[in-house]
Amino acid sequence: MRHTISVLVENKFGVLTRIAGLFSGRGFNIDTLNVGPTTDDKTSRMTIVVRGDDRVLDQVNRQLNKLIDVIEVQDFPEGEYVDRELVLVKVKVNSAARAEVMQMCDIFRAKIVDVQPHALTIEITGDESKITKFLDLMKNFGILDLTRTGKIALARK
């Protein structure tokens, strides 16, 4: 089972290293990790997606709360948060495929950010399901390169 955890931390040197070390030291694998500033320049928010059962999640939460620079830990129950991911994908195109790829971009509200003679670079944002469906369609044309931000999330309440 996948869990999405939001961790509010003090914006200090070494915090990311300590949190990543906590996971690796206990044999937990991080699926995605995203860190960014908040409205307060003294804090950052980490969104961590980890696999494991409820026992694993409980242990992760307890260990995170013990770290000195951690302000707040939230485990987001499914459906009680809003999440997004940003993907840049470079797709192989020829003159025949270009119009079809552009049409799919319109359908998925993706944005073409670079045009080359034999490739289009596309920016798409959305939840994991939308991103996966779009990338599955782009595989038919040939994905030349890809980068993903990982999930970011905020509680609905």
- List the domain boundaries for the chain: 2-76, 82-155
Long-range CB contacts for residues 134-142, cutoff 8 Å, separation at least 24: 134/87, 134/104, 134/108, 134/110, 135/87, 135/89, 137/104, 138/89, 138/91, 138/101, 138/104, 141/91, 141/92, 141/93, 141/97, 141/100, 141/101, 142/91, 142/92
Give the model's confidence band at 137: pLDDT under 50 very low, under 70 low, under 90 confident, else very high.
very high
**Which pTM was predicted?**
0.84
Topology alike, domains 2-76 and 82-155? yes
What is 2-76's CATH topology? Alpha-Beta Plaits (3.30.70)
- pLDDT tens profile 62-106: 999 999 999 999 988 888 899 999 999 999 999 889 999 999 999
What is 82-155's CATH topology? Alpha-Beta Plaits (3.30.70)
